[in-house]
Amino acid sequence: MWQGLNTHEVKVTVTNEHGLHARPVTEFVQLANRFQSKVEVVKGDLTVDGKSVAAMLTLGAGPGTVLRIRARGTDAAQAVKKLVALISSSFAQG
Amino acid sequence: MEIKKGIAVSPGVAINQAVVLDAEDYRIPLRHVSPQRIKQEVRRLDQAVTRSRQDLAELRDRARRRLGSETAAIFDFHLALLDDRSLQNKIRKLIRSDSVTAEFAVADVLRGYAKEFLQMPEYLADRVKDVYDIEKRILRHLIGQSREDLARLEEEVVVLAHDLTPSQTANLDRRHVLGLATDAGGRTSHTAIVARALGIPAVVGLNDVTASVNAGDTVIIDGNRGVVIINPDEATIRQHRQYVERIAEFELSLDRLVNLPAITLDGHEVVLLGNIEFPHEAATVIAKGGQGIGLYRTEFLYLGREVEPTEEDHYQAYMQVIHEMQGRPLVIRTLDLGADKYTQERSPVPERNPFLGCRSIRFCFQNLQLFKTQLRAILRASLQGDLAIMFPLITSVMELRQSKMILRDVMEDLEEEGIEVRRDVPVGIMVEVPSAALMCNQLAEEVDFFSIGTNDLIQYTLAVDRANERVAPLFTPAHPAVLRLIKEVIRAGQRHDLGVSLCGEMAGQPEYTLLLIGMGLRTLSVAPPAIPEVKQLVRSMTMEHARRVARTVMAFDNDKQIVSYLRDQSRQVMPEAY
């Protein structure tokens, strides 16, 4: 756990039909990589690098899973906001 | 000096330095590197990743244009996985900490991920395939340099490989690759067919030859005797050089036959056609004195590529061949895929018994759009040359009717679009399953010609998988049961006044020429380099002798006796060939 002014963390529930499989994870990671901040995704006591497809896939986050999206850095607030929006929209933009 | 025995599949002898290709499944041995080389290994990794990224971006863009963004997303995922920093860091770290090669580190890390994915819920377990795909792609760039350079070699070599893919063989630089030897394969494997087509000596089914040879070793590949000699001594080299010269002299004498007809001493004419796989081979058929193409295999359009060929891809390939043939006959066999990567990937579950499974015409019936795309292209080309259509693996009258109905549908579609086609384009079938041979009188009523495909006919009649080294010796055209089936088909053709040709490997094996002509065949379709030798035999025999041979053979009850009798008789006709 890290603390600091520029750390943001928000809870979100995975809603899309098949959970975080290859395609949503790809989109998530592509988006995460647009931010300077370090991004981490937490499921229970498992924390993974949100900018790594391989790591994100190992979360095995099926529909209904509650995740915490955490970012630290200059654009942390923006990063968390966008990433959470992506998950809650069930990756609607395709 | 080490001598390895395999299966001789393409005649000739080559003595050269070896190039060794790795097995497609890349069993990467653990190899340590000296600390000074670590930097270089990391650099190799980076280069391989960069090249893989270029491949993937290209594939993605092409997929997006042709197949839509759904499919392109798969490559986006591959790209994201490839560019995954934590994954790349893991690989780099392993190279540095354990002083291992880049290929070992890539394989180790990616297989670790694959293992992890396998334990995940089902939808993730599926991603294992993608991880392997990425691994292969990077490894291809790491190991594959020699492989890709096969197309532009600077000196003459012999190539040793576990097995060759269709795209590798297609890209072989003929001027520099003088011989082929593979661990896998049998007489009718893809490597064998292509080697014969290109006229390169080849030995297959050597099991572990790639493990015994190092790049740069001198290797003799004897495609006549099925032997590979690694690091031969001086005397052996000298002996084989003389042998090579004798063969060259014989071939030179055969080349004088190109413009002479294939006609027996007593005036019976035989038509010799070529079997081809790639459009560029059409020119070889003519150069070798072939009178047309009796079998154009179209599978190459599907293998060794990422996306399905378009109607235009088909059309262009056919037009190229038609153009080469300048009015000579051309028989196009419709898609005969099966039991290979292409069909297996499209199968919901792996087939337990692919040769008895959804292959060939059956695969086409179940993938109608793909079948129709090919038929459209063939029909569009039908007015441009002397073209015939041949359906493979027909087992019943119903299958033949279904094929013809689909062909008619496609014809009507084209005509509705205002595209002119040849309405009476000749339609024939491959007779390559015992059921078709036994029903040939009924089938004859509804086709314009038969072509006997002995490779499959033998496999299905004798229940032998020709690619399985343990039973391969049981695979023989000389089995009396096979010969009886062939005889039936020839008779049915005569009764119904149909053209019958034989296009299996058997047609190009000189020991069977006398027999086949004696049984009544007047058209043989063979690998282009075999045309002169078969022609020479035809020109040296009399029909009376051939008929006598055929009668005698039918009285034998086993293949050993038949083969030795045929060799003996052929030797009498053309002693210089033996």
Q: How confident is the model at residue B254 (pLDDT cuts 50, 70, 90)?
A: confident
Average pLDDT over chain B, rounded to whole?
88
Looking at the DSSP bridge assignments, the partners of residue B427 are B389
E strand segments, B383-454: 387-391, 427-431, 449-452
| Residues on chain A touching B106 (C-beta within 8 angstroms) | none
Report pLDDT for A94: 42
Report pLDDT for B146: 47
Question: B57 touching A, CB under 8 A?
Answer: no
Q: Inspect the interface and report whether the beta carbons of A58 and B121 lie closer than 8 Å.
A: no
Catalogue all structural domains in chain B, each as residue range(s) with its CATH number. 2-22+152-250 (3.50.30.10), 35-143 (1.10.274.10), 256-577 (3.20.20.60)
- In the three-class reduction of DSSP (H, G, I as helix; E, B as strand; rest coil), residue B388 is classed as strand
Which chain B residue shows the shortest CA-CA distance from A25? B77
**Alpha-helical runs (H) found in chain A:** 22-32, 53-57, 76-88
- The winner for highest mean pLDDT among B9-23, B63-77, B380-394 is B380-394
Of B157, B151, B188, the closest CA to residue B171 belongs to B151
Which residue type occupies B37? R
The pLDDT > 90 percentage for chain B reads 54
Write down the residue that tokens 């040709």 correspond to: B501
Report pLDDT for A93: 46
Lowest mean pLDDT among B220-229, B296-305, B432-441: B296-305
| Residues on chain B touching A53 (C-beta within 8 angstroms) | 77, 80-81, 84, 87
Q: How confident is the model at residue B129 (pLDDT cuts 50, 70, 90)?
A: confident
In this structure, what are the phi and psi dihedrals at residue B431, rounded to the nearest 5 degrees? -100, 100
Question: A64 touching B, CB under 8 A?
Answer: no
The pLDDT > 70 percentage for chain B reads 91
Q: Is the pLDDT of residue A90 over 90?
A: no
Residues of B forming the active site? 190, 503
Mean pLDDT of B548-568: 95
| Residues on chain A touching B87 (C-beta within 8 angstroms) | 52-54
Q: Is the pLDDT of residue B396 over 90?
A: yes
pLDDT tens track for A33-54: 999 999 999 998 889 999 998 8
Q: Inspect the interface and report whether the beta carbons of A57 and B127 lie closer than 8 Å.
A: yes
Mean pLDDT of B425-436: 98
Q: Inspect the interface and report whether the beta carbons of B86 and A49 lie closer than 8 Å.
A: yes
Of B455, B420, B544, the closest CA to residue B190 belongs to B455
Q: Is the pLDDT of residue B559 over 70?
A: yes
B276 Cβ partners below 8 Å, 6+ apart?
B197, B282, B284, B285, B293, B295, B296, B297, B321, B528
pLDDT tens track for B361-373: 999 999 999 999 9
Catalogue all structural domains in chain A, each as residue range(s) with its CATH number. 7-88 (3.30.1340.10)
Measured from the Cβ of residue B155, the count of other Cβ atoms closer than 10 Å reads 8
**Nearest CA distance, B78 vs chain A (angstrom):** 9
How far is the C-alpha of B77 from the C-alpha of B60, rounded, in Å? Answer: 10
Write down the residue that tokens 């090919």 correspond to: B374
Mean pLDDT of B397-404: 97
How far is the C-alpha of B29 from the C-alpha of B283, rounded, in Å? Answer: 43
Q: Inspect the interface and report whether the beta carbons of A23 and B127 lie closer than 8 Å.
A: no
Mean pLDDT of B209-223: 84
How far is the C-alpha of B72 from the C-alpha of B65, rounded, in Å? Answer: 9
Question: A34 touching B, CB under 8 A?
Answer: no
E strand segments, B403-518: 427-431, 449-452, 499-502
Q: Is the pLDDT of residue A10 over 60?
A: yes
Question: A22 touching B, CB under 8 A?
Answer: yes
How far is the C-alpha of B548 from the C-alpha of B514, rounded, in Å? Answer: 9
Q: Inspect the interface and report whether the beta carbons of B84 and A54 lie closer than 8 Å.
A: yes
Q: Is the pLDDT of residue B342 over 70?
A: no
**Nearest CA distance, A22 vs chain B (angstrom):** 6
Question: A23 touching B, CB under 8 A?
Answer: yes
Q: Inspect the interface and report whether the beta carbons of B124 and A57 lie closer than 8 Å.
A: yes
Residue B116 CB burial class (10 angstroms; 0-12, 13-18, ≥19): middle
Q: Is the pLDDT of residue B429 over 50?
A: yes
A8 flagged as catalytic: no
Q: Inspect the interface and report whether the beta carbons of B113 and A54 lie closer than 8 Å.
A: yes
In this structure, what are the phi and psi dihedrals at residue B558, rounded to the nearest 5 degrees? -150, 155
Q: How confident is the model at residue B124 (pLDDT cuts 50, 70, 90)?
A: low
Q: Is the pLDDT of residue B455 over 60?
A: yes
pLDDT tens track for B509-521: 999 999 999 999 9
- In the three-class reduction of DSSP (H, G, I as helix; E, B as strand; rest coil), residue B273 is classed as strand
* DSSP3 helix / strand / coil % (chain B, rounded to 5): 55, 15, 30
Tell whether the torsion through CA atoms of B437, B333, B444 and B325 is positive or negative.
negative
